[in-house]
Structure 1
Amino acid sequence: MRLAFMGTPEFSVPVLRALAGAGHDVACVYSQPPRPAGRGKKPRPSPVQVAAEAMGIELRTPVSLRDPDAQAEFAALALDAAVVVAYGLILPRAVLDAPRLGCWNVHASLLPRWRGAAPIQRAVMAGDAETGVDVMRMEAGLDTGPVLAEARTPIGPQDTAGDLHDRLSAMGAALMVEALPRIAAGEPGTPQPEAGVEYAAKIDKAEARIDWTRPAEALDRLARGLAPFPGAWTELDGERIKILLTRPEPRPAGTGTAAPGTVLDDALLVACGAGTALRITRMQRAGRAAQDAGAALRGRPVPAGARLG
């Protein structure tokens, strides 16, 4: 098939490589323009741009696809279909309708659950037992189109958003390659049910600060859902510390009245709300690399009775 690929972050790259590896003609790659990054704020190309240039595929990085000239250039590609994976730009109707067989999206949730920008993080934070990837024909609405193919995976008790990101990216690449012959055959997909829709809002920075009055189970899901980025965080003696991995545990005898945020032993068991406790097992101090808690404590002990907040 003659395809365009539209994507931006690292999540998208395995799908691009899988399409080319399966022998499809990827006529053009669209990605968001380079963004200022790092201390020097120099423009940094997206992971998809880097991959496309290494593969020798024509690259386009429009700021918007609302411009009639950009839409005409897209239509002139004479595509069978477009594959869209976390592109990050709105596709106007003229773009959606240009490929002969439409635009198809690899979406990292089991639709209709978690439509929107942050489906992987929201699934972990909500305590979902499983997640997956869908191949969906794109419509004008937000992730509302019919679903052609789906693959599922459980969310384990220690899975982070980062773990699922990598797993779902690989699953999405395989699923999209499997779906393309069905797209070529004209299969329309199955309309999404009306029930069960959730909106996976973009992560707000204010969500990342840990409120120790919440139960340990909720905070465990928060830490895993925000790991490795942006990272749930707390403060110790004025220093911001990212909490990347945790484990709910019973409170030791005699600590039932300890205030939330109080460290209950010398190995970072922290009192939480509703009489619960949370063991911090992986963390990151300011300006340091992420470490298992045991290694971090050898460098700077945190004694029982210290307060996190």
Structure 2
Amino acid sequence: MRLVFAGTPTAAVPTLRRLAAEHDIAAVVTRPDAPLGRKRVLTPSPVAQAAEELGLPIIKAARLDDEATAAITVLGADLGVIVAYGGLVREPLLSAPAHGWINLHFSLLPQWRGAAPVQRALIAGDTELGASVFQLVPALDAGDVFATRVIEVTAEATADAALDALAVGGAELTAEVVSSIADGSASALPQEGAPTLAPKLALEDGLLDWSEPLERVFARFRGVTPEPGAHTTVDGIRVKVLAASPSTQEQLEPGEIVATKTALLIGTATRPLAVSRVQPAGKGAMSAVDWWRGQRAVEGLRAGA
């Protein structure tokens, strides 16, 4: 198959590498270089870096406008494959490849249509995560599905680790679908069931509510780590929670903080959350216990206050 591939983040790289090993990649479409780090150095996207390493032609476009559409259309691709590109594919580009476009989405559609499926699934406490490959249509993540697969993710995995696992499993799934389209055996079925939506996360989505049960607090921590980041307030100061795990200790009052040798136990509506690493506003990352020691454990100081 002659393919055009569109993607931007690290999660799209395994699929690009897998398809490049099996098919002719006419071009790779990705977002323009972005400023990263404290010095705001313009840096190619992970997909652009992988494409350059593979010696593939690259089209950098902030959106798939008339110019990008023209550049892609002349390639004469059999199929377009998109994985987290970060922009919409509209007509006439949607119909330009002979077989249209397929999309690898990191959810079990119709669950979690939108920009943050893995994060929203974790926040909701879903016990199954997976990937779907579907035919791209104008409506958001609504096309007929070629294949879905449940992909095992560890019970304490945060969003970045979960996405890494899904990216690898999703690459295999996408390769299978592309091969089936190539040999004419592919079939896609309409999505069944009521869809749920997964809009992009905002900073406020990371706020931990200590009045909730531990399971809900930890689920939110997993879903918002590393971005936009789990956080709480202590004595009016915003503190980012970088590493945490469920505790087996006895119940504390919601927001109550008790230090052990290795972590801070913070009370919820049930058992405490063990927080081992934090980043207070304006400071670097540090051990939660060291940070708490620096607060001199003021009597009555609580998380969320």
TM-score over 0.5 (shorter chain): yes
Contact preservation (8 Å) 1:217, 1:248: no
2:166 alignment partner in structure 1: 168
Letter in 2 for 1:132: G
2:273 alignment partner in structure 1: 279
Contact preservation (8 Å) 1:146, 1:188: no
Distance 1:172 1:157 in 2: 19
1:81 alignment partner in structure 2: 79
1:40 alignment partner in structure 2: 39
Contact preservation (8 Å) 2:151, 2:169: no
Distance 2:154 2:125 in 1: 10
1:49 aligns with 2:48: yes
Instruction: Please give the secondary structure, in 1, of the residue aligned with 2:257.
Output: coil
Q: Judging changes above 3 Å, is the alpha-carbon distance between structure 1 residues 282 and 150 closer, same or farther for their aligned structure 2 residues?
A: farther
1:243: Cα distance to partner?
Answer: 4.1
Contact preservation (8 Å) 2:229, 2:240: no
Contact preservation (8 Å) 1:3, 1:81: yes
Letter in 2 for 1:14: P
Match of 1:196 among 194, 197, 200: 194
Letter in 1 for 2:27: C
Contact preservation (8 Å) 1:263, 1:307: yes
After TM superposition, the structure 1 = structure 2 runs for residues 6-85 of structure 1, keeping only pairs within 5 Å, are 6-22=6-22, 24-67=23-66, 69-85=67-83
Distance 2:247 2:196 in 1: 27
1:110 aligns with 2:108: yes
Letter in 2 for 1:50: Q
After TM superposition, the structure 1 = structure 2 runs for residues 267-306 of structure 1, keeping only pairs within 5 Å, are 267-273=263-269, 276-286=270-280, 287-289=283-285, 296-297=288-289, 300-301=292-293, 303=297, 306=301
Letter in 2 for 1:280: A
Contact preservation (8 Å) 1:228, 1:244: no
1:10: Cα distance to partner?
Answer: 0.5
Distance 2:275 2:258 in 1: 14
User: Quick check: 221-230 or 184-193, which moved more?
Assistant: 184-193
Unaligned residue ranges in structure 1 (runs of 5+): none
1:118: Cα distance to partner?
Answer: 0.3
Instruction: Please give the secondary structure, in 1, of the residue aligned with 2:3.
Output: strand
How many residues end up aligned between the 2 structures? 295
Contact preservation (8 Å) 1:52, 1:59: yes
Contact preservation (8 Å) 1:226, 1:244: no
Distance 2:238 2:110 in 1: 40
Unaligned residue ranges in structure 2 (runs of 5+): none
Contact preservation (8 Å) 2:11, 2:167: yes
Distance 2:226 2:27 in 1: 32
Q: Judging changes above 3 Å, is the alpha-carbon distance between structure 1 residues 124 and 239 closer, same or farther for their aligned structure 2 residues?
A: closer
1:307: Cα distance to partner?
Answer: 1.3
Contact preservation (8 Å) 1:231, 1:244: no
How large is the RMSD of aligned CA atoms in angstroms? Answer: 2.1
Instruction: Please give the secondary structure, in 2, of the residue aligned with 1:198.
Output: coil
1:51: Cα distance to partner?
Answer: 1.1
1:149: Cα distance to partner?
Answer: 1.5
TM-score normalized by structure 2? 0.89
Distance 1:61 1:240 in 2: 37
Distance 1:45 1:220 in 2: 34
Letter in 2 for 1:247: P
Instruction: Please give the secondary structure, in 2, of the residue aligned with 1:199.
Output: coil
